[in-house]
Structure 1
Amino acid sequence: MYRYNEFDKAFVASRAAQFRDQIGRWQRGTLSEEAFRPLRLQNGWYVQRHAPMLRVAVPYGELSSAQMRVLARIAREYDAPHEDVYRSALEAQRKLGTTHLPTHHAHFTTRTNVQFNWIALEKAADVMDLLATVDMHGIQTSGNCIRNISCDERAGVAPDEIADPRPFAEIMRQWTTLHPEFAYLPRKFKIAISGAAEDRAATDWHDVGLRLVRNEQGELGFRVAVGGGMGRTPLIGVVLREFLPWRQIMNYIEAVVRVYNQFGRRDNKYKARIKILVKTEGQRFIDEVEEEFRQIVECDGGPHTLPETELERVSAYFQVPAQAYAQRVADPAATAAREAQAARSPQFARWLERNVAPHREPTLRIVTLSFKRLLQAPGDASAEQLERVADLAERFSAGEARVTHTQNIVLPWVHVDDLLPLWHAAVAAQLASANVHLLTDMISCPGGDFCALANARSLPIAQRIMERYQDLDELDDIGEIDLHISGCINSCGHHHSGHIGILGVDKDGAEWYQITLGGADGSARSGEARPGKVIGPSFAAHEVCDAVVALLTRYLALRERSGARHETFIETVQRVGLDPFKAAADSVRASAEATA
């Protein structure tokens, strides 16, 4: 993992001190609410439906056990609302059918950040000081700037990796932080990097999506896609360069963002994202970027050209940790015990199949800890669970954990002999759901229970589906499927890329939900990135789970089998089209109307 140097530490500490001063002036009334708003947003502080919300940056998803413990402390000591605020919020939600709004929790987001929903603003400075003690902050997790840079959660450990993207992500983090030219872009700007053959970072859905590749000569470079994004207009990024030499990546991104900063719309926030500029201008946008890049390199001398020495310096932080015991051989006794447990325990056998992935080091494994279980919202983690994850990371993963864009946690350095004791410990911590990539491993934003922007609640829908599909045999039979839920068109739940996507919409003041089918994030199980398509009119909240059941029932009837393998849901949708599924969903609506 990257470790902050003295400059980094001083920078974060000074920013925390600056924010403490700003809060003090705001509390004393010498800094107006209007003036304070952009200052708190620049540090990750929002005001949501019931209380402030803090978003903490987790660059490329990596967390140390020490950082996890501080997040647990913040959840335990600070993520608690004033009693009157919570009582009022709970009463409002009870009228809509919600009976519990969790406190003392953190929430992992689809951009691998961490959010807290109940921290009072008068305690914000104390929280920022606490984060700074472990090299964390909320800088640029909000606002019209370059946001947190995300990566494949298996970066540096995946067998299919071409090159480790984390050193490049760290160099970009340092370059983009408070970049004076890009502090006030037309809208927010998101970058994702993948270094593997499989795109597990959904790069084509980002403003800039970067994939490390090698050309015919074996040279390392980037495939550069620009203009991806979800929201009101879901678009897949356009490839500007199939191969850009890695040394030029910073110069090229500078050109892209300069062109966006110059020509992006500032008169309409719904049309201000770079995806709209790329779609509207087409080849002209590409030509402008190429000309700007030429001038940066030829006229300015390529000031951001990366030297080999800088890449080597940063890469040194991302070596295999000594604690991972990369050279430790497998113990035959541990192997026998693991195999015996798998033979007599279907739960353990499923966990090995679903939650354990191969590693580039033969004696190591990549293990996913799933937070997706009944009565726990996707992405939520209690203070106790965060402490448990820190314990597991220290004991089994060289003190390192990673947030995934599917709202789980990965332990990247687990020795094969430790799989059985890790499973026992994960079961005790309620983090051993063997459902990775299955239906209940769903993505969901916090929705209307917390977010002021949401049109509808996401979490009750997620829980109803979770309640319906508790049988692991049934889940295994359905197979791999991506179910994504968003409470509004901002798409924080990535509904556009779900094989089944659910979007909350407002209809005369009531909560309704559109269903989309056929979306993909670009991973191997989904295929090429693409947005799903809406299947008919929206559903009432009480109809959504039944509609999902109808869709899956139709899939089970339509899927084909080849040998021992069934078609996955997305494969069947691609083969037969949407009409059979639309008819299945329509039957739910017709039944509800007949009963009404």
Structure 2
Amino acid sequence: MYKYDEIDQTLVDERVAQFRGQVTRRLSGALSEDEFKPLRLQNGLYLQLHAYMLRVAVPYGVLSSRQLRGLSQIACKYDRGRGHFTTRQNIQFNWIKLEEAADALADLAKVQMHAIQTSGNTIRNTTTDQFAGAAHDEIEDPRLWCEIIRQWSTFHPEFSFLPRKFKIAVTGSPNDRAAVRVHDIGLRMHKNAAGEVGFEVIVGGGLGRTPFIGKTIRDFLPKQDLLSYLEAILRVYNEFGRRDNLYKARIKILVHEIGIETMREKVEAEWLTSRDGALKLPQAAIDQIAAHFAPPAFEALPGGIAREYAEAFRTDFEFGLWARRNTAKHKQPGYSIVTVSLKKEGAAPGDASAEQMAAVADIADRYSFGEVRVTHEQNLVLPHVRQADLPAVYAALKAYDLATPNVGLVSDIIACPGLDYCALANARSIPVAQQIALRFRNWERAHDIGELKIKISGCINACGHHHVGHIGILGVDKNGEEFYQLTLGGSADENAALGDILGPALNATDAVDAIDTLVETYLRIRQAGERFLDTYRRTGLAPFKEAVYAAA
């Protein structure tokens, strides 16, 4: 895990002091809200419907137990005892008082955290696979490359005022758990014919008002050329990206309008001017960063099933349900990866109380080398748990309502804060997610349904990633009333696809009923071994549309 050096700490501390002065001037009236707005946004402070919201960066989703305890304390001290984990692997606090904002940032700095570049037209938090460094299918740990990108992009003077915000994601596995094809730049690590590891570079993906799946601009990029190639893409975007129209300013629009071939020509030409310059990464620099991500001190454990795990699986039905859904295979024999669901039925997806955060920190210290991950699906991960310790981890999580056995199932819903908090939203997301989760609270039914990813956004900005949900739900406004448009067949994995619109938007009650109808239709027409997405891809929209609107 990366730890701040003296430069990092000084930079963050000085930024806090600078912002404290800006807040003082705003409170005194020396700065107007219009003057203060760009300053607060540069420090992750948004003005929402009811209060200020602070978005805290969690670089590539990695937290130490100390940092998670720090977030727990901030939730207690400056918020209402809760935090909301986001699809950018960050955390948001929704009830911040302006006069306390600088104090909150100062407390973050004490645990090597900040809110820099969590807003604004700049390079945002680089995201990656929540199983990085632990996944059995991993080609190479992507975290060190995320850290290299973080160091290069933080306060980059050339890219501090881009045409629009910019998001980068990296995966080191063939099974994409980082949604790289729906980012401005996606990086997929793979081996070329010579066995060398490098990057497929994908550009122009993104959701929001105009969704696109990213296109490959380079099949294979050597690792030492990563930063120079990223810089070439950013320079082309900075020069040719639209600045006259907010809705056409993202790089995905540029790629769409000029075409991937022209985009490639411009980037390659720019790259030729700099590829052998100062940004060419020497192996010594790569090794220095990689040392921060050395594996923990794993025990040499035998393969196979641990006795404690087998006994609990045999005798405790609820543990068995949880173990099947919420654990994943680890690359190290005798260890497992645990996903901590923040989707208990009836709860707000992605929310965790201060008490729960502190509990997960304690569990991480005892069972997972003090390390926690945040997923882009709004859950937490304990990446390195001995299989023999899984029954104890389950019991500890259950005591804090954190052992819901639903990862990847119908109630493991992604949802943005929606109209309950967000000034941009058209409709509420959280109540709809809660109603759907309660509708499918029967675990026997949920497990029979199998993998089904529902994603809800309260507006077209798509913070809930509804475009790539197996079932997507978009909140829309119709003459002052909240309605919901459904899409089917989306996916954010290595076979990324945008969902198809089912039909006319529905009110909240009918939308929840429609989810039930869609599921029942799937169960009726599925073939052996098919997930919801498989059945949809085989049959298309027709049987689902007929079932929903015939019942409406």
Contact 2:304 2:334 in 1 (8 A): no
Question: Aligned runs of 1:393-412 on 2, under 5 Å?
Answer: 393-412=364-383
C-alpha separation in 2, matches of 1:575 and 1:453: 36
Question: Aligned runs of 1:329-408 on 2, under 5 Å?
Answer: 335-408=306-379
Structure 1 residue 376: Cα displacement: 1.3
C-alpha separation in 2, matches of 1:221 and 1:507: 48
Give secondary structure in 2 for the equivalent of 1:211. strand
What is residue 429 of structure 1 aligned with on the other side? 400
Deviation digits for residues 425-448 of structure 1 (CA, Å, limit 9, x no counterpart):
111111111111000011100100
Deviation digits for residues 490-547 of structure 1 (CA, Å, limit 9, x no counterpart):
0000000000000000100100000000001015xxxx10100101100011111100
What is residue 524 of structure 2 aligned with on the other side? 557
Moved more, 340-349 or 61-70: 340-349
Moved more, 474-483 or 30-39: 30-39
What is residue 169 of structure 2 aligned with on the other side? 192
What is residue 113 of structure 1 aligned with on the other side? 90
Are residue 287 (structure 1) and residue 265 (structure 2) matched?
A: yes
Structure 1 residue 8: Cα displacement: 0.6
Question: Aligned runs of 1:16-165 on 2, under 5 Å?
Answer: 16-79=16-79, 103-165=80-142
2:531 to 545, 556, 568: 568
Question: Aligned runs of 1:454-493 on 2, under 5 Å?
Answer: 454-493=425-464
Structure 1 residue 330: Cα displacement: 7.6
Give secondary structure in 1 for the equivalent of 2:96. coil
Contact 1:543 1:588 in 2 (8 A): no
C-alpha separation in 1, matches of 2:413 and 2:482: 20
What is residue 204 of structure 1 aligned with on the other side? 181
1:498 is matched by which residue type in structure 2? G
C-alpha separation in 2, matches of 1:534 and 1:196: 31
For the aligned residue pairs, the C-alpha RMSD in angstroms reads 1.2
Are residue 577 (structure 1) and residue 540 (structure 2) matched?
A: yes
What is residue 510 of structure 2 aligned with on the other side? 543
What is residue 316 of structure 1 aligned with on the other side? 291
Deviation digits for residues 104-135 of structure 1 (CA, Å, limit 9, x no counterpart):
21000001000000011110011000000011
C-alpha separation in 1, matches of 2:497 and 2:385: 34
What is residue 265 of structure 1 aligned with on the other side? 242
Contact 2:345 2:411 in 1 (8 A): no
C-alpha separation in 2, matches of 1:65 and 1:547: 41
What is residue 306 of structure 1 aligned with on the other side? 281
1:303 is matched by which residue type in structure 2? A
Give secondary structure in 2 for the equivalent of 1:514. strand
What is residue 300 of structure 2 aligned with on the other side? 327
* Structure 1 pair 539–130 and aligned structure 2 pair: CA distance change class (3 A): same
Give secondary structure in 2 for the equivalent of 1:367. strand
Contact 1:326 1:364 in 2 (8 A): no
1:555 is matched by which residue type in structure 2? Y
C-alpha separation in 1, matches of 2:303 and 2:387: 7
Unmatched 5+ residue regions in structure 1? 80-102, 590-596
Q: Share of identical aligned residues, percent?
A: 53
Are residue 587 (structure 1) and residue 547 (structure 2) matched?
A: no
Give secondary structure in 2 for the equivalent of 1:184. coil
Contact 2:309 2:389 in 1 (8 A): no
What is residue 209 of structure 2 aligned with on the other side? 232
Contact 1:326 1:361 in 2 (8 A): no
2:30 is matched by which residue type in structure 1? T
Structure 1 residue 302: Cα displacement: 2.2
Structure 1 residue 350: Cα displacement: 1.1
Structure 1 residue 388: Cα displacement: 0.6
Structure 1 residue 587: Cα displacement: 2.2
Structure 1 residue 328: Cα displacement: 4.5
What is residue 8 of structure 2 aligned with on the other side? 8
C-alpha separation in 1, matches of 2:551 and 2:315: 41
C-alpha separation in 1, matches of 2:342 and 2:32: 41
Contact 1:330 1:417 in 2 (8 A): no
1:150 is matched by which residue type in structure 2? T
2:505 is matched by which residue type in structure 1? S
Unmatched 5+ residue regions in structure 2? none
Are residue 247 (structure 1) and residue 224 (structure 2) matched?
A: yes
1:575 is matched by which residue type in structure 2? R
Structure 1 residue 303: Cα displacement: 1.7
1:444 is matched by which residue type in structure 2? A
C-alpha separation in 2, matches of 1:185 and 1:263: 11
Give secondary structure in 2 for the equivalent of 1:143. coil
C-alpha separation in 2, matches of 1:248 and 1:411: 32
C-alpha separation in 1, matches of 2:280 and 2:30: 45
Structure 1 residue 45: Cα displacement: 0.2
Question: Aligned runs of 1:206-225 on 2, under 5 Å?
Answer: 206-225=183-202
What is residue 531 of structure 1 aligned with on the other side? 498
C-alpha separation in 2, matches of 1:456 and 1:209: 30
Structure 1 residue 26: Cα displacement: 1.2
TM-score, length-scaled by structure 1: 0.91
Contact 2:71 2:357 in 1 (8 A): yes
* Structure 1 pair 337–522 and aligned structure 2 pair: CA distance change class (3 A): closer
C-alpha separation in 2, matches of 1:244 and 1:445: 35
What is residue 443 of structure 1 aligned with on the other side? 414
Contact 2:121 2:162 in 1 (8 A): yes
Structure 1 residue 34: Cα displacement: 1.5
Structure 1 residue 588: Cα displacement: 3.2
C-alpha separation in 2, matches of 1:584 and 1:44: 44
Contact 2:301 2:333 in 1 (8 A): no
C-alpha separation in 1, matches of 2:48 and 2:32: 19
C-alpha separation in 1, matches of 2:461 and 2:304: 50
Give secondary structure in 2 for the equivalent of 1:201. coil
C-alpha separation in 2, matches of 1:24 and 1:536: 51
Deviation digits for residues 445-490 of structure 1 (CA, Å, limit 9, x no counterpart):
0100000000000011001111111110000110101100000000
C-alpha separation in 2, matches of 1:480 and 1:307: 43
C-alpha separation in 2, matches of 1:448 and 1:247: 45
Contact 2:476 2:484 in 1 (8 A): yes
1:327 is matched by which residue type in structure 2? A
Structure 1 residue 30: Cα displacement: 1.7
TM-score, length-scaled by structure 2: 0.98
Contact 2:204 2:212 in 1 (8 A): yes
Structure 1 residue 180: Cα displacement: 0.2
Deviation digits for residues 4-58 of structure 1 (CA, Å, limit 9, x no counterpart):
1111111111111111111111111222222211010001000001110000000
> Structure 1 segments of 4 or more deviating over 3 A?
328-332
C-alpha separation in 1, matches of 2:370 and 2:294: 14
Give secondary structure in 2 for the equivalent of 1:290. helix
Contact 1:186 1:272 in 2 (8 A): yes
2:277 is matched by which residue type in structure 1? G
Structure 1 residue 331: Cα displacement: 11
2:373 is matched by which residue type in structure 1? R
Structure 1 residue 77: Cα displacement: 1.4
Structure 1 residue 343: Cα displacement: 1.4
